Amino acid sequence: MSELYSLRKIYGETLVKIADKYPEIVVLDADLAKSTKTQLFAQKYPNRFFDMGIAEADMVATAAGLASCGKIPYVSSFAMFATGKCWEQVRNTIAYSKFNVKIVATHACLSVGEDGASHQACEDVAVMNVIPNMNIIVPSDDVSTRFFTEEIAKIKGPFYMRLPRSETERIYSDNKKFVFGKEEVLRDGGNVTIFSMGLMTGIAIKAADKLRKNGIKVNVVDILTVKPIDKDTIIEFLKKSGKAVVCEEHEINGGITSIISTIASMNYPSKLRSVSITDKFGQSGDWKELFSIYGLTEDNIIKNVMELEND
């Protein structure tokens, strides 16, 4: 088995690494710095770190004020609280004014594991996606996490970046350069396309490679930028294959299944299937076991591809 990386640790380390290059960066957390790993930044740059206490609404609105004075605030908490506790503050005080605030949330969805449903935001992408001016990045491995942690500092405007709690394998080569707004094609030349987001991309690649061994070629497109989504690449692959499985560790309503379905139905109606969470709360348990209970597995992806293939 290949090495596992903690994406939130990569996030914290990257913040430290880029801090001198971007003196405008300040970091805010809401009493979860040890978990979100912003603590790494806090230790090195105590004067640029603000623990706002357990007050997420106050935190994001304070960040907007800092941004209005030229700071680049990175704001971290669990995905549940960073998007749920203060959705309206993010909408009205950050996004409406296009303030340059980077919300980087960790512990998204089922990856939380044992803490259970109260802490598992499986709808965070949906609620951020409906906010005008918001940009959304969902890295899938350590390389993309490292890249986008810095990249969003260079691009003016509000961002939501979603990270898991659990660790995951590397997908991209070490110094890979990504383009914001462009999805990454990981496997090509097949009759079915898998569109995947976040932790599901690693699982999707494994499914694709297993299928390939059995003579079934599958495309894999990693949806790194959820907003503004790369319509061109999505339409290109729908045209190539006409069939797609959308995989997300997220609620089907409002997630990338919904987003890609809309693009498909308006541009190139295709046969779509979804590997996602279907109108359910999460629950406690080892995260891998939860992925299996909710069907976020290699086997389920393969099953869906096969059904499409044989359709």
Query: In the complex, which residues of this chain contact other proteins (CB under 8 A)?
Result: 26, 47-48, 50, 52-53, 55, 57-71, 73, 88-89, 92-93, 96-98
Between 159 and 294, CB nearer to other proteins: 159
State the nearest-atom distance from the C-beta of 266 to other proteins, in Å. 28
State the nearest-atom distance from the C-beta of 308 to other proteins, in Å. 45
Between 51 and 167, CB nearer to other proteins: 51
State the nearest-atom distance from the C-beta of 79 to other proteins, in Å. 20
Tell me the three-class secondary structure of 241-282, residue by residue: HCEEEEEEEEECCCCHHHHHHHHHHHHCCCEEEEEEECCCCC
State the nearest-atom distance from the C-beta of 86 to other proteins, in Å. 9
Between 33 and 211, CB nearer to other proteins: 33
- Catalytic position from the list 56, 123, 183, 184: 56
Q: Which token pair is 120?
A: 């598992």
State the nearest-atom distance from the C-beta of 4 to other proteins, in Å. 37
Query: Would you call 251 a catalytic residue per the annotation?
Result: no
> How far is 104 from 124, CA to CA, in rounded Å?
12
Give the active site residues: 56
